[in-house]
Structures are given as C-alpha cells and as structure tokens.
Amino acid sequence: MNVVNVGYRSVNCYAVETGAGYLLIDVGMPGTYGEFSVALRSKSVPLAEIRLLVVTHFHPDHCGIAQKVKEAGVVLLLGDVQAPRLAEANRWLAKFPGYAPISPDGNVIVPAGSRAAWKSATGVGGVLLHTPGHSDDSVSVVVDGLGAFVGDLRPPEAYAGEAARSAAESWEKIGAAGARTVYPAHGPVFGI
C-alpha cells in the first residue's frame, strides 16, 4: 500500500492508496480548498479517486474544509467517539473565517477499536482507535502494513496530568494495534 502526503502549509494530509480509491486522512484550514486542489494535482492524486476522508480531530487545521471535500463527493468517516461531538465542534469552529459546518448527514460512523467495522467500511485491514491526549475527540487510524496516522498526538512527556495519562494509554493502544511507523499531522514520519 502506498501513501502520499498531499499536505500544504504546515499540515500533513495523507492519501492512502487502497486499491479501490484513496483514503484521505486530514484536510487543512477553512478557506484553503483552492490550495488543497493544487496540492492534489501536484501529487497526482485525482479528487475523483478519493473515496473516504477521516479527520483525526475537530481542530481547524485538520477538518477545516471537510464539508467542502464532502460536497466534492468524498464520504466522511467518523469514529463513534467523534460523531456525538460534531455539533459542538461546528459551533466552536464557526469563528474561523470561511468555515463550512460539517453536515451530520451522509457520514459513515465506525466504532473505535473494531477491526471488522473498519475493514467493512474501508476495504483495508486496520482499525480506528480513540486516542485522546491532544484532545478528547482525537482518533488515530492504524493501517496494517503501513503504520499509524495519529493527528496531533504527541509523546506523553509533552503533556501534564490527566492528558499525559491519556496520551500514554493512547500510544499503548497504537502499539498494541501493530503500528511501528507513525505518520504525524505535523513534521516528519517516525518509528516507534
């Protein structure tokens, strides 16, 4: 399986080639749809071949143009831990100029931790995990044979108190799911 970084500005957006279209992980800030389109073209990833979008969490630099991407025909896949937080996220994100609220309609909801549900939704082996630490709505995606897409989750040492404990548990889950390579939303790929 191949992965292409179609990110722009300081955000990594990963397009995972699944054999039946791309799975996209994260998109950029509100108002950057034009830049996103340019990034896709420069990396030869046709928008029409992107089937699914996962946003690792509801921060503007990761889900800012999710609704625009949905309107272009991509299905948004949310973890069951994210879906109930969508309305609140839309309210908070409304302050960012150009933000289009993410519609609750037409999304595919996948239970965190279920390999079977992930496989049937995406066609690829792996699992979506609830990985709080950076934020309570953070999820990571482990794709078998590739690694973990962790969004903004940083090492436990980067946090204090409850967040540090959450982050430690999140990294344990990621390791237990078999990931050895980490694709962060900012900065270079690294190993665990």
- Give the shortest CB-21-to-Zn ion separation in angstroms: 27
CB of 129 to Zn ion, least distance (A): 16
Residue number, 59 or 173, with CB nearest to Zn ion: 59
Q: What share of the chain is helix, strand, coil (3-state, %, to 5)?
A: 30, 25, 45
In angstroms, rounded to a whole number, what is the distance separating the alpha carbons of residues 173 and 185?
18
Q: By CB under 5 A, which span of 59-67, 88-96, 116-124, 156-164 interacts with Zn ion?
A: 59-67
Answer yes or no whether residue 12 interacts with Zn ion by CB under 5 A: no
Find tokens 């300081």 and name the residue. 10
Output the CA angle 130-134-136, nearest 5 degrees.
50
* Cα atoms found within 13 Å of the Cα of residue 65, Cβ hemisphere only: 22
Q: Which residue is nearest to Zn ion (CB)?
A: 59
Report, in Å, the least distance between residue 81 CB and Zn ion.
Answer: 16
Residue 11 vs 124, nearer CB to Zn ion: 11
Contact letters (x/-) for Zn ion, 138-167, by CB under 5 A? --------------x---------------
- Pick one of 16, 39, 45, 59: the residue that binds Zn ion (CB under 5 A): 59
What is the torsion angle, in degrees rounded to the nearest 10, for the CA atoms of residue 177, residue 19, residue 153 and residue 138?
-90
Which tokens is 116 given? 């079977």
For residues 98 and 31, the answer to whether their CB atoms sit within 8 Å is yes
Q: Whole-number minimum distance, CB 134 to Zn ion, in Å?
A: 6
Dihedral (C-alpha) 56, 61, 67, 69: value to the nearest 10 degrees? -90
The least CB distance from residue 154 to Zn ion, in Å, is: 10
Is 130 a binding residue for Zn ion by CB under 5 A? The answer is: no
Question: Is 26 among the residues that bind Zn ion (CB under 5 A)?
Answer: no
CB of 145 to Zn ion, least distance (A): 27
Which residues are at the interface with Zn ion (CB under 5 A)? 59, 152
